[in-house]
Amino acid sequence: MVDTAELVDNDFLRQFEIKVDDSLAKIEYSLQERKIFLTKLIVPEEIKDKNFSKEFLELVFEQIGERNLSVVPTSPEIAKFVRSNRKYKRMLPVGLRI
């Protein structure tokens, strides 16, 4: 489902967006220096796919990695994703443990 949609970094609204059918899923963020704080994951109820959030987060983390930014997950859902995916822990700033 995610692989057919396009990930958009809407820097005006400070959110990553992905449109699925008529629904818009988003991850809100705040950018400070070389760190991006992922503050909120919003997935509409219309999106029933269980793996959608995981796939959406993987796309976002890949794009953040290409920009060489450190990630600070402040949302519980995003922190849980990082804890369960070791390869993204390297993107945390030095000294941050979750």
For residue 80, is it within any domain? yes
Task: Domain count for the chain, please give it.
Answer: 1
Rounded to an integer, what distance in angstroms lies between the CA atom of residue 20 and that of residue 49? Answer: 11
In a domain, 60, yes or no: yes
CA angle, residues 28, 39, 1, in degrees to nearest 5: 55
In-domain check, residue 64: yes
Residue 20 banded pLDDT, cuts 50, 70, 90: confident
Could you list the residue range(s) of the whole structural domain that residue 13 is in? 2-89
Percent of the chain surpassing pLDDT 90: 70
Please, which pLDDT band fits residue 98 given cuts at 50, 70 and 90? confident
84 in a structural domain: yes
Run of H or E residues at 28:
strand 23-32
pLDDT (tens digit, 9 = 90+) per residue, 29-67? Answer: 999 989 999 999 999 998 888 899 999 999 999 999 999
**Least confident window among 4-8, 20-24, 40-44, 76-80:** 4-8
The Cα–Cα gap between 61 and 88 comes to: 7
List the CATH number of the domain containing 69. Answer: 3.40.630.30
Q: What is d(CA 94, CA 79) in angstroms, rounded to the nearest whole number?
A: 16
* Pairing status of strand 35-42 against strand 23-32: antiparallel
